[in-house]
Amino acid sequence: MNQRLRLILLWLLPIGMVVLISWQILGNSGTSSINQANTSIASRNSAVSRMSYGRFMDYINSGRVTAVDIYDGGTNAVIEAIDPELDNRVQRIRVDLPGLAPELINKLKEEGISFDIHQAKTTPPALGLIGNLIFPILLIVGLVFLARRSNSMPGGPGQAMQFGKTKARFAMEADTGVKFDDVAGVNEAKQDLEEVVTFLKQPERFTSVGAKIPRGVLLVGPPGTGKTLLAKAIAGEAGVPFFSLSGSEFVEMFVGVGASRVRDLFKRAKENSPCLIFIDEIDAVGRQRGAGIGGGNDEREQTLNQLLTEMDGFEGNSGIIIIAATNRPDVLDSALMRPGRFDRQVSVEAPDIKGRLSILEVHSRNKKLDNVLSLEDVARRTPGFTGADLANLMNEAAILTARRRKDCIGTAEIDDAVDRIIAGMEGQPLTDGRSKRLIAYHEVGHAIIGTLVKDHDPVQKVTLIPRGQAKGLTWFSPDEDQTLVSKSQLKARIMGALGGRAAEDVIFGHGEVTTGAGGDIQQVASMARQMVTKFGMSNLGPISLDNSSQEVFIGRDLMTRNDISDAIAKQIDNQVRLIVKECYKETLQIINKHKIAMDKLVDILVEKETMDGEEFRSVLSEFCSIPAS
């Protein structure tokens, strides 16, 4: 709206200026004679005194007027009169006359007064013609300038008829600079998409056995996993016309614009068939219809209806493959997801350790790495990282290397980059001895439980250096990607999260526990509730009692009733408290049993501020036996 207001002002401002200038020109030409008379009077008379017409006649009768100059057809005059009060000096006086009357002329002749009548200077006809033509010429020039300026601006008044045209970026052979070799860590998705490219390049291989080219491919996965990168690779490999746009580019404030853009997009695609169309963030236009309370008939639904018709309607769209990407497949309309529109749904998930290693190798091609740095160790330390996270990790490590004036990226830069991405920027070290020691006991409590509980992930590092909102951190690194987690592993994680609070409780007393365990307790409650309601790991048995399997979608879930009775909800709460209570009891027993080892570890940690996992286990092994992982 603001853009259209600016465009309207852009129209009106030059026109207003043209009108104002022209009005001033025409006004000046209308008063030219008066200005000329005033200029002539001013040039001949430096005095500013005035005289009435009646007094002027008295001066004539008394013989005091010696000369009269008449201007503007007898409406203005300058006289020379003798003033006795000024030693009979001649004074020039301005007089307003009623007109050039014959009586006045006769009177002047009778008295023998010298007079002269000055005719007004007239404007030459050529200048008058030019003055009359200035306004239309300036108006036409201003309109031409505005039209050119508006045509060069997207969405300007000059493009009023272009609202219904598609905004898709078109390339006969897209030069994205990305090939399939540049995409790593998503081998399954890449294999499906390579097959689509082969369909386009060698269709006879598939049509000879009766196979049909897929209508659409939907890329589904969390943000940062490489969906858009895969689309760029397809564009770079296919060698066919390529259209790319975002789902939000279909929708405008004007009714019918989105559907018109869909029609125009597929019209251009059919003219360049076979081709590829890539729609990023398709959930912006493909959300479920009728999701609003009481139904809906908004612009987005009309756009979706047109998209459904173009993808697989009466006419069809042979030779056009649509590739779409989204991280919200749960809100897409079911008609959009069916075979015949999106025949394939390719899941692009976070990579495993082998995928992370291959991604790190891709993003390390143009970076100098230390000889002792192992990308495999980096991949093992970054479970859950997506391709975008790993690219950011290597870039942050390179920035730290340049800041520290080193020649190559080392292990320290990788560690600091991982810490910064996960926990935030490094803060100022703690100076208060009491707070520092309390946080040290808290973090050592986490680390001891994580080390002594068999099914827990091993400790990677313990530090008292603040990062983000955390005053201290304990890092755990799993040995491998865990897609399946056992009940004992979940209980071990709950105990590890409770280790900090248990250490405060044992060392400082129940009345001196702090708020530092607030985040840990929230994590514990979430894991325990999932064990009861989602995984069936409680005395209630293997029953799914979870109503939050999907995110709430307005209209679909607003009126959904609760399938759990109050009695069952009470039992769920009791089971959650029972699991947490048992885990906390076991955690307290371990902490009480190893208080001497904890005191030793805290002294070392307060002095060094950071301990890696190997050093921590080495010190702890002097006091107790560590179970094999």
Q: Could you list the active site residues?
A: 443
Question: What is the sign, positive or negative, of the torsion defined by CA atoms of 94, 100, 104, 109?
Answer: positive
Instruction: Decide: helix, strand or coil at residue 276.
Output: strand
Which amino acid is residue 322, in one-letter code? I
Instruction: Decide: helix, strand or coil at residue 243.
Output: strand
Element (H, E) at 459: strand 459-463
Q: Number of C-alpha atoms within 13 angstroms, CB side, residue 215?
A: 18
Cβ contacts of 226-229, under 8 Å, gap ≥ 24? 226/183, 226/185, 226/186, 226/189, 226/348, 226/386, 226/387, 226/388, 227/280, 227/325, 227/327, 227/348, 228/280, 228/325, 229/178, 229/182, 229/183, 229/387
Do residues 190 and 181 lie in contact, with contact meaning Cβ atoms separated by under 8 Å?
Answer: no
Provide the 10 A C-beta neighbour count for residue 137: 12
**Both structure tokens of 470:** 């955390």
What is the distance between the alpha carbons of residues 325 and 343, in angstroms, rounded to a whole number? 14
Backbone angles phi, psi at 212, to 5 degrees: -110, 150
Q: Number of C-alpha atoms within 13 angstroms, CB side, residue 385?
A: 29
Residue whose entry in the numeric block shows the structure tokens 């890539």: 278
**Cβ neighbours of residue 62 under 8 Å, at least 6 residues apart?**
none
Q: Is 355 exposed, middle or buried (0-12, 13-18, 19+ CB in 10 A)?
A: buried
**Both structure tokens of 101:** 């009357």
Residue whose entry in the numeric block shows the structure tokens 């597929």: 266
Angle between helices 566-593 and 595-608 (to 10 degrees): 80
Question: What is the sign, positive or negative, of the torsion defined by CA atoms of 223, 520, 425, 465?
Answer: negative
What is the distance between the alpha carbons of residues 136 and 269, in angstroms, rounded to a whole number? 46
Tallying the residues shown for the chain, one arrives at 629
**Both structure tokens of 538:** 């409680």
What is the distance between the alpha carbons of residues 5 and 563, in angstroms, rounded to a whole number? 52
